[in-house]
Amino acid sequence: MKALVKTAAEPGLELTDVPEPSVGPGDVLIKVKQTGICGTDLHIHGWDDWAASHVQAPLVVGHEFSGVVVEIGSSVTDVAVGDVVSGEGHLVCGRCRNCRAGRRHLCINTRGIGVQLDGAFAEYVALPSQNAWVHTTPIGFDVAAIFDPFGNAVHTALAFPMLGEDVLVTGAGPIGILAAMVSKHAGARNVVISDLSEQRLALASSLGVDLALDARTAKPQDAHDQLGMTEGFDVGLEMSGSPVALRDMISSMTHGGRIAVLGLPADEISIDFATVVLNMLTIKGIYGREMFETWYAMSVLLQSGLDISGVITDRFDHTDYEQAFAAARSGHGGKVIMNWES
Ligand SMILES: [Zn+2]
Ligand SMILES: [Zn+2]
Summarize the confidence of residues 249-275 as an average pLDDT: 97
Distance 40 CA to ligand 1 centre (A): 6
Tell me how far the alpha carbon of residue 93 lies from the centroid of ligand 2, in angstroms: 4
Known binding-site residues equal 38, 63-64, 93, 96, 99, 107, 175, 195, 200, 262-264, 286-287
Tell me, in angstroms, the distance from the centre of ligand 1 to residue 66's CA: 13
Q: Where are the beta strands (DSSP E) in the chain?
A: 2-6, 14-17, 27-36, 59-60, 64-72, 84-87, 90-91, 111-112, 124-128, 132-134, 166-170, 190-195, 211-214, 233-238, 253-261, 282-285, 312-317, 335-339
The rounded Å distance from CA 179 to ligand 2 centre is 27
- The predicted model gives 173-191 an average pLDDT of 98
Q: Where are the alpha helices (DSSP H) in 5-140?
A: 39-46, 49-54, 97-100
Q: Please, what CATH class does the domain formed by 2-146+308-339 belong to? A: alpha beta
- Of the candidates 7, 35, 43, 136, the residue annotated as catalytic is 43
Cα–Cα distances in angstroms (integers) from residue 203 to residues 39, 153, 197, 288, in the given order: 19, 16, 10, 24
User: One of 7, 16, 35, 40 is an active-site residue; which one?
Assistant: 40
Domains 2-146+308-339 and 153-285 share a fold: no
Q: What integer pLDDT is reported at residue 342 of this predicted model?
A: 74
Average pLDDT over residues 39-68: 96
Give the number of the ligand closest to the Cα of residue 107. 2
pLDDT in tens, 194-240: 999 999 999 999 999 999 999 999 999 999 989 999 999 999 999 99
Can you give the pLDDT at residue 67? 98
Please state, for a pLDDT cut of 90, what percent of the chain lies above it. 98
Neighbours of ion ligand 1 (CB under 5 A): 38
In the reported structure, the alpha carbon of residue 328 is separated from the centroid of ligand 2 by a whole-number distance in angstroms of 32
pLDDT averaged over every residue in the chain: 97
Inter-residue contact 125 to 87 (CB < 8 Å): yes
- Annotated binding-site members for Zn(2+): 38, 63-64, 93, 96, 99, 107
pLDDT at residue 333, rounded to an integer: 94
Ligand nearest to the CA of 96: 2
CATH number of this structure's domain 153-285, picked from the four choices 3.30.200.20, 3.40.50.300, 2.102.10.10, 3.40.50.720: 3.40.50.720
- Looking at the CA of 93, which ligand is closest? 2
Ligand nearest to the CA of 328: 1
Q: Examine the residue annotation and report whether 40 is marked as an active-site residue of this protein.
A: yes
Mean per-residue pLDDT, 289-313: 98
Cα of 175 vs centre of ligand 1, distance in Å, is 10
DSSP 8-state class, residue 233? E
Burial class of 50 by CB neighbour count within 10 A (0 to 12, 13 to 18, 19+)? middle
Answering whether pTM is above 0.85, one says yes
Where are the chain's structural domains? 2-146+308-339, 153-285
pLDDT of residue 164: 98
In the predicted model, is pLDDT for residue 241 greater than 90? yes
Residue 155 annotated in active site: no
pLDDT band at 265 (very low <50, low <70, confident <90, very high): very high
pLDDT in tens, 57-86: 999 999 999 999 999 999 999 999 999 999
Report residue 89's pLDDT band, with 50, 70 and 90 as the boundaries.
very high
